[in-house]
Amino acid sequence: MEVTVEKSSELQRKLTVKIPSEQLEKKMDARLREIGKQVKIKGFRPGKIPPKVLKQRYGKSVKQEVVSEVVQSSLFEAIENESLRPASNPVLDNIGEFGEGTDLEFTASIEVYPEIGPIDVSGIEISNPDTEVVDTDVDEMLQTLQQQRQSWEDTDEPAGDGHQVVVEYLAEVNGTTVPAQGKQRLSLVLGTSGFEDLENAVTGKRAGDRQETELRFPDGYGDKQLAGNVAKVELEVIEVQHGRIPDIDEEFIRSFAVESGQLEDLRSEVKANLERELQQARNTWLKSQVVKQLLAQHANLQVPDAIVSDEAERLKKQAAEQQGEEAENLPDEIFRNAAERRVRSGLLLAEMARQNNIVVDGARVRKAIETVAETYEQPMEVVQMYYGNQQLLGGVESLVLEEQVVDWVVENAKVDEQSMTMKEVINAAANSGQAE
């Protein structure tokens, strides 16, 4: 087999493969002999059919079968022998004619991964949060849990901060009544809803009060006809309620699966959860710093179009699941830009792992899976599900390997230990995620 590789572009390769006719003829003869043992032809005993007869009757189909088989096996053998790293499945461009004494020649195109030179992290500067969960963090989370479990009771008081207000409204925007089927009910807690105009309109009002006003609906409002628009609104306050915060007693504590009913045990559970959240946020923020600087260093690194297209499609599907039809109307370029960034950063992190002999740590993979499993009622079943599904397991292994690469960078880059609160780390991680 002769192979030549032509560089069509930075990441495109054209392979020309020539296979000797003798190799194909031997395979055809062997296949015809197998057929001769199995078929029956009138006038000949089983297994005694002359090769010429077999070739006349079955030669065409056997030739197609052998050529297809040899082309496929030879193509992948050529890719391996030429040390090519395919980023997508090869595409056969042309298969020449093959006959006695005529070698078979075919061409194929393939997209490959980019060659990345040594990655130097000595110039990377990282802010590493020096943070731990403190008692005030636990106190605040306990208060949040109390808020989440509060009950609501009707009150004659005028609506104010912290009250839950139930309203009915009918809006008119651009000459259209919304909702078309009639009044819509909406519940909001004043001071927390993010619907500033509506909060201002109902503040000081009591149940039964009505008014006509103009409201600007938030950009992310659920009704697409109203989102981001100013509308004339008929508004009625149906209920004003004040919250009743539960005491942290044994019943409250046991509702969080702390069977002892002791506050000390609940605080320990809360602290452990916050520590996991803090570690995850720290990892996210460190990774974002590493990725940002790696991308700046390798801004011109070309990435395989096939992988970018697959990632863009995945991001668009994910957005559609979260946002519905709105995502379907977004330009493909939005997803493509994000996909290209993700693919480039993933290639760089993977290459750093290869260059520095970093292999995935099985213990860390197990811990990551168990952390996810702890949020389910049957954690061991979840663990078994991950280890029984190569796709799920591979996803966790990839994330863990990236974390190990980030840890390695932190050990070898310029690191500034930065004193931060838990909230600051979580906010930094959230903002870095939005930037991506």
Give the CATH number for residue 74.
3.30.70.1050
What is the domain-level CATH number for residue 219? 3.10.50.40
Q: Are residues 91 and 6 in the same domain?
A: yes
Structural domain includes residue 89: yes
Tokens of 376: 């389910």
Q: Are residues 84 and 133 in the same domain?
A: no
Q: Are residues 302 and 196 in the same domain?
A: no
Q: What is the pLDDT along the chain (436 residues), one digit of tens a residue?
A: 899 999 999 999 999 999 998 888 888 888 888 877 777 777 777 777 887 877 877 878 888 888 888 899 999 999 999 999 999 899 999 888 877 778 889 999 999 999 999 999 988 999 999 999 999 999 999 999 999 999 999 999 999 999 999 999 999 988 889 888 788 899 999 999 999 999 999 999 999 999 999 999 998 888 888 989 999 999 999 999 999 999 999 999 999 989 999 999 999 999 999 999 999 999 999 999 999 999 999 989 999 999 999 999 888 888 877 766 666 667 777 889 889 999 999 999 999 999 999 999 999 999 999 989 988 889 999 999 999 999 999 999 999 999 999 999 999 999 999 999 999 999 999 888 655 5
Q: Are residues 176 and 296 in the same domain?
A: no
Question: Residue 86 belongs to what domain range?
Answer: 2-111
Structural domain includes residue 50: yes
Give the max Cα distance, the chain: 106
Cα dihedral across residues 417, 420, 426, 427: positive or negative = negative
Structural domain includes residue 102: yes
Structural domain includes residue 116: no
In whole angstroms, give the CA distance from residue 421 to residue 119.
33
**Of 63, 9, 10, 74, the residue nearest 35 (C-alpha):** 63
**Overall number of domains in the chain:** 3
Give the domain-ending residue among 211, 244, 277: 244
Q: How many helices (H) and strands (E) does the chain have?
A: 13, 12
Q: Are residues 53 and 174 in the same domain?
A: no
Q: Are residues 222 and 320 in the same domain?
A: no
Structural domain includes residue 250: no
Q: Are residues 220 and 294 in the same domain?
A: no
Structural domain includes residue 35: yes
Q: Are residues 349 and 408 in the same domain?
A: yes
Q: Are residues 106 and 229 in the same domain?
A: no
**Of 46, 13, 168, the residue nearest 5 (C-alpha):** 13
Structural domain includes residue 400: yes
Please state at what angle helix 263-297 crosses helix 332-355, rounded to 10 degrees.
90
Structural domain includes residue 360: yes
Q: Are residues 385 and 322 in the same domain?
A: yes
Give the domain-ending residue among 244, 279, 310: 244
Q: Are residues 188 and 77 in the same domain?
A: no
Q: Are residues 234 and 293 in the same domain?
A: no
